[in-house]
Amino acid sequence: MRMVDTEYSAPRELLRTQTLALIVGIVGLVLLLLGAFLPEELLGGTEQFWRSYLMGWTYWTGVALGSLGVLMIQHLSGGVWGATLRRFLEAAALTIPVMGVLFVPLALLGLPYVYEWTDPAFMRESEILSQKTGYLNTPFFLIRMLAYFVIWSVLAVLLHRWSSRLDRTGDYDYASRQARLSGPGMVLYAITMTLFTVDVLLSLDAEFFSTMWGPLVTLSMILAAFALMIVILSFLTVRGPLSQVVSGEHFLDVGKLLLAFTIVWTYLSFSQFLIIYSGNLPTEAQWYVTRLQGGWEWVGLALLVFQFILPFLLLLSRGLKRDPRMLVRVALLAFLMQYVNIIWLTVPNWHRDGFYLSWMDLVAPIAFGGIFLMLFTAILRARPLLPLHVVPRRHPRARTYTEAQHAGQ
């Protein structure tokens, strides 16, 4: 084996992380299951269980799906930042099939507790809803979900496999195959993600509709994925093998992209709000009316401040973006705020009278996070942390993290 292979191999601590993540995942799931049998006074119950399940699952599936999107964008656009993130993105995208399997329990047992449209009597109540039954019915929903996950899994598996082969053979034909697949793949991704986000999150309020929804929620997932990848990159740079390669310029690049994603998220969120505000039609406006009173307005304000204003102002600074120890904090904030975003999108649909949050809503993302990170580290550990035949790995004319530390910067 060449020197370069061992140089970038995953550090041993990742095995500890993997075990820890597995334990957290199992403990979290057990807690959730216990919660399902608790009475409603203790904020438990079957209904609460499936709702929290959906929230936790959506959050982490979003990370996997967002990674697939960024990975394909990277194959199409190139860029020095991509080589350092590629392995993380590939590993995260490869969890998609398993995340799909984790949806099966909800699909078989939980749908009536989560989606109001599963009840035919409810759908017959109003003219608008009865027009929607052709699309919003359980069998078609399940068929669509299956189709999405098959498409994404094929994309993720192929991109991952070709990347491994490129490592082994050094045959650049695999690199161009990745780029050729990513073009049509991106088109498929845009279509399936639009439908998926509408099915899973928008249909929680069967009356509501928004053409901005698909791009908005897809971008939220990409933002969450990108923020998490920055956290992992900086973790493996500050105390890991990537310090030999990654430089402040890399962090400047990914920091700029995080700023861009933050701005686009805000732009889409505001566009949706402004269009509905201007239109002022009951079926649409109700969605915001629910969310701007009874305590929910504070969740919205928290999103505005901590998902836009604060990260936006911080990420303008060049010095902050270049310093992984600082950038990681902003990325972590953006990542956690995306769960607040999930709460904002989901819970008010079930609790329209005012703010409500169960402890299970906070355990679910931890449980699914454990499972996701266990899978992620297991996939990541199997290969070197950097693609071996992608150039340039190093930023031209930039000091790597190690060199900068020695120079006392």
Partner 1 sequence: MTLKLETPIYGLLAEFDGEHELMHAAEQVRDAGYRKIDAYTPVPVHGLSEALGLPRSRVPLIVLCGGLIGGTTGLLLQYWTMAKAYPLNVAGRPLAAWPSFIPPAFEMTILFASFGAVFGWILLNSLPQPYHPVFNVKRFERATTDGWFLSIEASDPKFEYGETRQFLASLGAKEVSDVEH
What tokens were used for 133? 């039954």
Contacts by 323-329 with C-beta closer than 8 Å and gap 24+? Answer: 323/248, 323/251, 324/233, 324/234, 324/237, 324/238, 324/246, 324/248, 324/251, 324/401, 325/234, 325/238, 327/230, 327/234, 327/251, 327/254, 327/255, 327/258, 328/230, 328/231, 328/234, 328/235
- Nearest approach, Cβ of 270 to partner 1 (angstroms)? 7
- Nearest approach, Cβ of 265 to partner 1 (angstroms)? 15
DSSP secondary structure letters along 127-163: HHHHHTTTTSSHHHHHHHHHHHHHHHHHHHHHHHHHH
Closest CA to 374 of 25, 35, 4: 25
| DSSP-assigned beta bridge partners for residue 297 | none
Residue ranges that bind partner 1, judged by CB under 8 A:
270, 273-274, 277-278, 280, 396-397
Residue placing its CB nearer to partner 1 in the complex, 235 or 270: 270
| Cα separation, 229 vs 321, whole angstroms | 15
- Let me know: does 217 contact 197? Beta carbons within 8 Å: yes
- Nearest approach, Cβ of 398 to partner 1 (angstroms)? 9
Contacts of 314 (CB under 8 A, 6+ apart): 320, 330
- Nearest approach, Cβ of 397 to partner 1 (angstroms)? 5
Residue placing its CB nearer to partner 1 in the complex, 194 or 283: 283
Q: Is 209 left (phi over 0), alpha (psi -120 to 50) or beta?
A: beta
- Let me know: does 319 contact 174? Beta carbons within 8 Å: no
- Nearest approach, Cβ of 274 to partner 1 (angstroms)? 5
- Nearest approach, Cβ of 313 to partner 1 (angstroms)? 11
- Nearest approach, Cβ of 288 to partner 1 (angstroms)? 10
Residue placing its CB nearer to partner 1 in the complex, 273 or 356: 273
- Nearest approach, Cβ of 263 to partner 1 (angstroms)? 11
Preceding peptide of 392 cis, ω within 30° = yes
| Cα separation, 124 vs 130, whole angstroms | 5
Residue placing its CB nearer to partner 1 in the complex, 275 or 382: 275
Residue placing its CB nearer to partner 1 in the complex, 3 or 278: 278
Residue placing its CB nearer to partner 1 in the complex, 12 or 397: 397
Residue placing its CB nearer to partner 1 in the complex, 39 or 319: 319
Residue placing its CB nearer to partner 1 in the complex, 134 or 319: 319
